[in-house]
A and B are shown apart, each in its own frame.
Chain A
């Protein structure tokens, strides 16, 4: 019965869906990686995504301008990040609690704005499929990799960008320093709080972008709680990826591809109870986490507010 799954059209379908599904996770998890490497655990990702996705949707719904929608989503995400930074960096509130607070804030505010400003579920036309010339004509490869909307390409482009940021720039060095040993960074004249502000706001802007990817590129509708906890999975993927962009990429791809696989398993009528099939991506993620947990090291100052001693 598994022969059904081994047809080339099905395998292409699984990989294509996996790559597409991974995009919002990638934006959100890469952004969260930056915040956490600077020592701030932002559990509000899902709420920020909700605000970003609503902002993007509303702008596109009213103006039809997709890039304006993206810009506003990034700006709204950054504002949410600023709020998180004020609370957790300046006022040093417990990060886990303030993150949950931020999530509830985003969930409630986006639902309220939706009811006041739109009222019922509507659709928009989002980013179209952008076939990359030449590359998309390559058989199989072209179909899987070069046949997506532009935000999907952008999500994957962010992987090397974040890697370069961490490993090749002074800013990246500062981010890692304040997340690992803020006292040392401080004594070298790095403003710990300023770097953390940047990292949290940057991460939140990426979460806003992840929300826009959902609402104006992949689903093209908006509904209350449209993320359905996607932002929390993104936080888990940061741990999964060992706080490294490449690890986050692999984690997102694995999670999304297994999700695509289980959909195909069901659509092809392979006789597995649907409840088991939908569990598959989560079970696999937990397994990998267990095996990976021994070798990864989290930023030493994660969740610890910085206060200059003396």
Chain B
């Protein structure tokens, strides 16, 4: 056997570098602002920028959970100015061990706020948070700020996904011709389950005889299986579909090809299929992010749990202008929204 050649070693290094690039700090999209930052900084010479690091299991371009937070960060950055808010991220960190290492690295590098965007990161986050009491950490979907472990520097956040799920369910039930709705779920847990349960409740409350077929792919990223699940729902009579997690782009593609309508959640998905997407429940994290930054600057590093709801504006139903919604469906949705906001409607059975 010949020894390993430099070429092979080179390739391995390139491979690892590129694989990490999927999740390396300030990758392509963030690069432009990062490059401009020093130039903008020099003349103004302001105080140190606030540094946020963002660690997530899916890509920041996933049109779902990951992108909702990334869009929020970008919006806050646009508001504060690029010189005053620095964003770094590590995405596609599906391995918790990799994410834990990234979280620790960011903490050591002096980031002010580190957002760990996945329930699975909880234990690692608590471990790191102990060692960096002056750094703020945030994680979700979660309500536990680690107070019982003596931690004072952890924020927790979640979205009441069932609320927008309920509204989407009302709209879908009103608009369905066939009386059958299809749900392309990822894994039967967490945010996805909340959304789907809310969707079912909203649909049944609107049309008691409506049929809501639910399937799960057992994965968040199995785009091909999600597409086939959508095709199966359509073959089983569904004319309106919904679903959750980044894999739904496959299902949206299938809905578009077959002329079915789609309701989204997490991030606005109408750009992918302007003729199919009726409305999306959008998670708007900007207020949460701004509040965490303000608290941190005031010396409170954690301890607060946030929930996005329709009432506090963290959840928004974004209609796609390209698809007409009948007036009575819109009216039913508005009524349901009021009911949820004032508490007269419970979005979970």
Contacts of B14 in A (CB 8 A): 105
Q: In the complex, which of the residues B17, B219, B227 contacts A219, with contact meaning CB atoms closer than 8 Å?
A: B227
Contacts of B223 in A (CB 8 A): 219, 221, 223, 226, 228
For the complex, give the distance between the alpha carbons of A16 and B224 in Å. Answer: 15
Q: A196 CB to closest chain B CB, in angstroms?
A: 15
Judge whether B29 and A115 touch: CB under 8 Å.
yes
Nearest 10 pairs of A and B residues by beta carbon: A108-B18, A278-B218, A266-B215, A105-B15, A274-B216, A108-B19, A104-B19, A104-B15, A115-B28, A224-B59
Contacts of A16 in B (CB 8 A): 235
Contacts of A300 in B (CB 8 A): none
Is A214 in contact with chain B by the CB < 8 A criterion? yes
Contacts of B59 in A (CB 8 A): 111, 223-225
For the complex, give the distance between the alpha carbons of A86 and B252 in Å. Answer: 40
Is A303 in contact with chain B by the CB < 8 A criterion? no
Interface residues in B230-245 (C-beta closer than 8 Å to A): 231-233, 235-236
Judge whether A92 and B11 touch: CB under 8 Å.
no
Judge whether B250 and A259 touch: CB under 8 Å.
no
Judge whether B253 and A20 touch: CB under 8 Å.
no
Judge whether B233 and A24 touch: CB under 8 Å.
no
Q: Considering residues A121, A226, A227, A264, which has the most beta carbons from chain B within 10 angstroms of its beta carbon? A: A121
For the complex, give the distance between the alpha carbons of A263 and B231 in Å. Answer: 10
Task: Give the interface of B toward A (CB within 8 A).
Answer: 1-2, 4-5, 7-8, 11-12, 14-22, 27-29, 59, 61-63, 92, 182, 185, 188, 213-219, 221-225, 227-229, 231-233, 235-236, 246-247, 249-250, 252-254, 256-257, 271-273
Contacts of A224 in B (CB 8 A): 22, 59, 61-62, 92
Is A296 in contact with chain B by the CB < 8 A criterion? no
Contacts of B213 in A (CB 8 A): 266-269
Q: In the complex, which of the residues B7, B19, B222, B252 contacts A91, with contact meaning CB atoms closer than 8 Å?
A: B7
Judge whether A220 and B62 touch: CB under 8 Å.
no
Judge whether A221 and B249 touch: CB under 8 Å.
yes
Q: In the complex, which of the residues A9, A114, A225 contacts B221, with contact meaning CB atoms closer than 8 Å?
A: A225
Assuming A108-B17, A274-B218, is B253 touching A123 (CB within 8 A)?
yes
For the complex, give the distance between the alpha carbons of A151 and B27 in Å. Answer: 35
For the complex, give the distance between the alpha carbons of A133 and B28 in Å. Answer: 48
Count contacts on A: residues with CB < 8 A to the other chain: 61
A–B pairs, 5, beta carbons within 8 Å: A17-B231, A87-B11, A101-B12, A108-B18, A214-B224
Is A109 in contact with chain B by the CB < 8 A criterion? yes
Judge whether B272 and A122 touch: CB under 8 Å.
yes
For the complex, give the distance between the alpha carbons of A87 and B227 in Å. Answer: 36
Q: Chain A binding site: helix, strand, loop or mixed by DSSP?
A: helix
Q: A197 CB to closest chain B CB, in angstroms?
A: 16
Judge whether B224 and A24 touch: CB under 8 Å.
yes
For the complex, give the distance between the alpha carbons of A108 and B233 in Å. Answer: 33
A115: nearest residue on chain B (CB-CB)?
B28
Judge whether A123 and B272 touch: CB under 8 Å.
yes
A230: nearest residue on chain B (CB-CB)?
B224
Q: B18 CB to closest chain A CB, in angstroms?
A: 3
Q: B296 CB to closest chain A CB, in angstroms?
A: 29
Is A35 in contact with chain B by the CB < 8 A criterion? no
Judge whether B218 and A21 touch: CB under 8 Å.
no
Q: B4 CB to closest chain A CB, in angstroms?
A: 6
Judge whether B11 and A105 touch: CB under 8 Å.
yes
Is A13 in contact with chain B by the CB < 8 A criterion? yes
Interface residues in A208-245 (C-beta closer than 8 Å to B): 214, 218-221, 223-228, 230
Q: In the complex, which of the residues A220, A223, A230, A277 contacts B246, with contact meaning CB atoms closer than 8 Å?
A: A223
A13: nearest residue on chain B (CB-CB)?
B235
Interface residues in A182-205 (C-beta closer than 8 Å to B): none
Judge whether A218 and B29 touch: CB under 8 Å.
no
Contacts of A122 in B (CB 8 A): 271-272
Assuming A104-B16, A112-B21, A120-B271, is B218 touching A275 (CB within 8 A)?
yes
Assuming A91-B2, A121-B272, is B28 touching A223 (CB within 8 A)?
no
For the complex, give the distance between the alpha carbons of A264 and B28 in Å. Answer: 41
Contacts of A228 in B (CB 8 A): 219, 221-224, 247
Is A6 in contact with chain B by the CB < 8 A criterion? no
Is A260 in contact with chain B by the CB < 8 A criterion? yes
Contacts of A33 in B (CB 8 A): none
